[in-house]
Amino acid sequence: MKFTAYGLAALMFLAAGCQRETAGTPEVRRDYPQSLKIFLDSGALTRSDVLVELKIADLKAKKGDFNPAAAAAFAGDRELPLQSIDQDRDGRADVLAVLADFPNGGTRELTLFYAPSGEKKRDYPQRAQAEISRKSGGHFENRKYIGGEFENVTALKVPPEHTDHSFFIRYEGPGWESDRVGYRFYLDWRNATDIFGKKTGEMVLQQVGLDGFDSYHEMSDWGMDILKVGESLGIGSPGMWTEDGAMRVSQTDSLYCEIADNGPLFARVHTDYAGWQVAGARYDLSSELSIAAGSRLTRHDLQISGDPPNLCTGIVKHPGTVLLDKSPNASGWGYLATYGRQSLAEDELGMAVLFRQEDFQSFQEDEYSEVVVLKPRDGRLRYYFLAAWSQEPDGIRGEAAFMAYLETLVKELNTPVEVRY
């Protein structure tokens, strides 16, 4: 682990049993009597709403009695939101995520206050969420669900009777959102990702589709579904590149979907596709889609069995758009993007997929999608996708502004915030 002279001096200061009383509040120092210093280094980049993941194992290595169930983070006297994340879904938190700003770049000093035992929850505004809502109390008839009421569930094994337009799952799949944008994908043979454009920073998914099965195709106070997906990859959907083009994850033995995290800072949807049949082979594929407060980016983590040669993702083709792509280099991140009047509201929308250059194989296209072909490593692949709609509050408007935004994202991905203890 990397330490600067300043970081080592801070650790020696703590080891001597001294604590500065400038951080936190009297109430926090009383209820959370132990503390640990953290240093977050943004380099030269100015950033806001950065979700920084602190490994709980590292925190416990520094303070053996550290307790993530009773913790609070402060930069001076300002509290920063925290969320525990169970990355491997084994029932125990692995990561403590903190949301930080770097208005001038450089290093920020944080103090983690904690109580060695017990659980003390603190309330933070909900800025990210995920959900899946299915009907219960009715029955399937000719692959349509008759009767019943929607209820949110934490997990769903998709019944074999379910298909597109079965009226069984609200807005036809799981949804996830930040205070910037929302997404959903079709939890059926289509398996393509769609966009909910938002005109508000409030959480909205819980009300989408309750006033009519597809009412979200019409503009409302919160926004609307803004993407025509058709037979394409939508935005960021996984697929396999074949001689016939991009093949979505359509034919599977079973589908299982779980809401792994539900905010307030980070939301995640986990999906298992058992027995994906494509290009004469069969694979088991796991997908995790996650989003953080203040961000348009969805991170997509894939794990696949076997050794598939040509995983791909991409963006739906629309007329009258500009295709933007970042030529691959030896290292860092690149992108495939489009911009233009391509939203269902008939206004400007930018879409992008960002990928590690080391995973890049080629740019391709078929009748429906602009495609980037990627090679997983040890069966794993990570990429990001995003939508930027002109009607967002303080939205990005114009191709030049969208390109500048993409370049900023690439710089941030190439220079992640460094954590020092």
Provide the pLDDT for residue 16: 37
- In this predicted structure, the answer to whether residue 258 has a pLDDT above a threshold of 50 is yes
Q: In sequence order, what are the residues at sequence separation of 6 or more whose Cβ sits closer than 8 angstroms to the Cβ of residue 407?
A: none
Average pLDDT over residues 333-359: 97
Q: What mean pLDDT is predicted for residues 105-131? A: 97
pLDDT digits (tens, 9 = 90+) for 91-108: 999 999 999 999 999 999
In this prediction, residue 213 carries a pLDDT of: 74
Residue 288 has pLDDT above 70, yes or no: yes
Give the C-alpha distances (Å, rounded to integers) separating 300 from 28, 220, 264, 297, 364.
36, 29, 19, 9, 20
What's the rounded mean pLDDT across residues 152-157? 98
Peptide bond into 264 cis (omega under 30): yes
Mean pLDDT of 101-123: 97
Q: 314 is written with which tokens?
A: 């991409």
Residue percentage of the chain with pLDDT more than 70: 94
User: For residue 335, which of 354, 350, 322 has the smallest C-alpha distance?
Assistant: 354
In this predicted structure, what is the pLDDT of residue 211?
Answer: 81
Taking the C-alpha atoms of residue 286 and residue 16, their distance in angstroms, rounded to an integer, is 47
Structural domains of the chain in order of their starting residue, each with its CATH number: 5-114 (2.60.40), 128-420 (2.70.98)
What is the tens place of the pLDDT at every residue in 181-214?
999 999 999 999 999 999 999 999 999 999 877 8
pLDDT at 330: 64
Report which secondary-structure segment, H or E, holds 7: helix 5-15
- Contact status, residue 106 vs residue 41, Cβ threshold 8 Å: yes
pLDDT at 17 over 70: no
Mean pLDDT of 22-39: 93
User: What Å distances lie between residue 275 and 186, 280, 281, CA to CA?
Assistant: 18, 12, 9
CA dihedral 231, 368, 315, 207 (to 10 degrees): -30
For residue 49 the two structure tokens come to 């709403």
Q: What's CA 76's distance to the chain center, in Å?
A: 29
What phi and psi values does residue 172 have, to the nearest 5 degrees? 65, 15
pLDDT at 2: 43
How many CA atoms, within 13 angstroms, populate the side-chain half-sphere of residue 67?
17
Cβ neighbors of 73 (< 8 A, separation 6 or more) are 38, 79, 80, 81, 82, 98, 110, 111, 112, 113
Please tell me the distance from the alpha carbon of residue 356 to that of residue 335, in angstroms, as a whole number: 9
Greatest alpha-carbon span in the chain: 72
pLDDT score, position 96? 98
Of the candidates 207, 175, 210, the one whose C-alpha atom is nearest the C-alpha of residue 193 is 175
